[in-house]
Amino acid sequence: MPTGRFVEVVRFPVENVSPEAQVNVREVPAYLREALDGAGADLDDVDLMAAEIVTNAVRHTASGRPGGQVWAAVIATDEQVRVEVIDQSEARSEPWIPPYPVLSGRGLLIVQELAARWDWSRDRNGYTTVWFQVPRTGGAAGWPR
Ligand SMILES: Nc1ncnc2c1ncn2[C@@H]1O[C@H](COP(=O)(O)OP(=O)(O)OP(=O)(O)O)[C@@H](O)[C@H]1O
Ligand SMILES: [Mg+2]
């Protein structure tokens, strides 16, 4: 990735939203819509992919437990916006795309189809980053403000 010209990391701490989901899934897509307003990226795609990834963090990792949290990062160049969601995955589970005809497991398939690129990584402390990139298609002069 070329040198980032805009980088922002935001932490989403626990909020008592629902008994099983301590992290409010919609907070991250809402933040991204605001942060990327005018960036020339397809914000509907960004919203959908971010919602799937945060839902995974809440459903499949310790981020969804009391005290859990996720972090969202935006890294943009002139050509691309990269969104990273960092969660508290444990080593026993990894993001993967179940093969057809398995009936569940469509979230990351959606990410694979909509993103220019996506992948995940895990650091030695057990934090997992799931990221995707989308192109900036124009009308983006003056962003970030
Ligand atoms: N952040 C994550 N950390 C660890 N494992 C993950 C993570 N995200 C996804 N996974 C694993 O990858 C699988 C596939 O994820 P995917 O979102 O495609 O399907 P799903 O969450 O099981 O179902 P849905 O179709 O409702 O999204 C999950 O079932 C889970 O086992
Ligand atoms: Mg999912």
Distance 24 CA to ligand 2 centre (A): 15
Judge whether 41 and 6 are in contact, CB under 8 Å: no
Flag whether 144 is in a domain.
no
pLDDT of residue 1: 38
> Which ligand 1 atom sits closest to the C-alpha of 61?
3
> What pTM was estimated for this model as a whole?
0.89
CA separation for the pair 92, 22 (Å, rounded):
21
Domain that holds residue 12: 6-135
Flag whether 142 is in a domain.
no
Flag whether 31 is in a domain.
yes
Give me the CATH number covering residue 63.
Answer: 3.30.565.10
Question: In tens digits, what is the pLDDT along the chain, a chain of 145 residues?
Answer: 344 566 777 776 545 445 555 568 888 999 999 999 999 999 999 999 999 999 999 899 988 888 888 999 999 988 899 999 999 987 788 999 988 777 778 999 999 999 999 999 999 888 999 999 999 987 666 788 7
Number of domains in the chain: 1
**Strand 80-87 versus strand 117-122 pairing type:** unpaired
Distance 68 CA to ligand 2 centre (A): 18
pLDDT of residue 17: 45
